[in-house]
Copies of this chain bind each other. A is one copy, B any other.
Amino acid sequence: MTAPTAAPALVALDWGTTSLRAYLLGADGVALDTRGSSAGIMKLPAGGFEEAFEETCGAWLDAHPPLPVLAAGMVGSAQGWAEAPYVETPADANALVAGIVEIKTARGVTVRIVPGVLERGILPNVMRGEETQIFGALASDASLNAEGGALIGLPGTHAKWAFVREGRIERFYTFMTGEVFSALRDHTILGRTMQSEAASDASAFERGVDTARDAGHPGVLATIFSTRTLGLTGQLTPGQQPDYLSGLLIGHELRGLSEVLARDQSSLAGRTLRLIGNDALCDRYRAALARFGCQDARTVAHATEQGLYRIAVQAGLVTAPARTA
């Protein structure tokens, strides 16, 4: 006997720069259907949002007419469908709900967009999409609601590290690790001696992480040159250099994060934290975190759709089923 399927209750959209991912969720937050599209906001022609939305979600809306729609990500940026101004840290789910912006489509559907989060300061930080993933993780992983607060890492082109406490995003950092890796590999001398390999080389990666951790005091602008000089001196093959550089950069990111933690008399060693992101990249970060003494860094699955679901419930767009204990 299969469990009864919940009726569709929400269209949830993760709409970023390079792609659009749509989820048809039941009232219990479980995905009944998903659709992916390459209609990221940077790839659309002017006025292309509604068309891309119809193409991806039209069939669901035809079949289940009164469905609410909630979107998160760069779709709410100044270059998006409608700008949802940033909510400032410390930000909780209520603040995000209060900042939701509405669009009425030609079909008469209201599309609601979750705002991003801004932290002011000498180094201002912004996120769009990650705030929703973070609230998804908070809803599904009890360890993130520990009394002392929690740390969540979101590896990616622009990796984020967020400090959360009592249901609020208190502060966060952005490391351009992924984008810097690509720029160094494709547009500097470091790429000239590299060769891409099908399989990744875990030992070269760990060597990079350890070098950043132990000998990284001149900073990443200096250590990256060793990708080339370890090649010149016969200590790294061309095929090992990409993984070594990746390890160096992720190692420097964790070294920087360690410096931030040290100011609070804390460290990565022995810490529990959670990761959100694609599996291969989270595996890479977990391997690097282990070199910093952090052994408990599981990936929170389905954070995006769970975040959209939770915000929709908080906004009254969806009524969660009563729990039967």
User: Closest residue to A185 on the B side, CB-wise?
Assistant: B183
Using A180-B221, A218-B175, A224-B176 as known contacts, say yes or no to A233 and B118 having CB atoms under 8 A apart: yes
Q: How many residues of A contact B (CB 8 A)?
A: 50
The answer to whether B256 and A211 touch across the interface, beta carbons within 8 angstroms, is: no
The answer to whether A225 and B186 touch across the interface, beta carbons within 8 angstroms, is: no
Closest Cβ–Cβ distance, residue A230 to chain B (whole Å): 6
Q: Is A188 an interface residue (CB 8 A)?
A: yes
The answer to whether A217 and B176 touch across the interface, beta carbons within 8 angstroms, is: no
The answer to whether A122 and B211 touch across the interface, beta carbons within 8 angstroms, is: yes
- The contact string, 1 if C-beta is below 8 Å from chain B, for chain A 239-280, is 000000000010011011101100100000000000000000
User: Closest residue to A177 on the B side, CB-wise?
Assistant: B221
The answer to whether A221 and B220 touch across the interface, beta carbons within 8 angstroms, is: yes
- The contact string, 1 if C-beta is below 8 Å from chain B, for chain A 179-211, is 110111011111000000000000000000001
* Contact of A218 (CB < 8 Å), options: B120, B221, B223, B256: B256
User: Closest residue to A256 on the B side, CB-wise?
Assistant: B219
21 A-B residue pairs with Cβ-Cβ distance under 8 Å, sorted by A, are: A120-B233, A122-B226, A123-B211, A124-B230, A125-B225, A126-B232, A158-B225, A173-B218, A175-B219, A175-B221, A176-B221, A180-B184, A180-B221, A180-B224, A183-B184, A217-B256, A218-B257, A218-B260, A219-B220, A221-B253, A222-B253
For the complex of A and B, 4 pairs with smallest distance between CB atoms: A219-B256, A124-B229, A218-B256, A217-B259
Q: A176-B222, A182-B187, A217-B256 are in contact. List 9 more A-B contacts (CB 8 A).
A: A123-B223, A124-B230, A124-B233, A125-B229, A158-B189, A176-B188, A177-B221, A219-B255, A220-B220
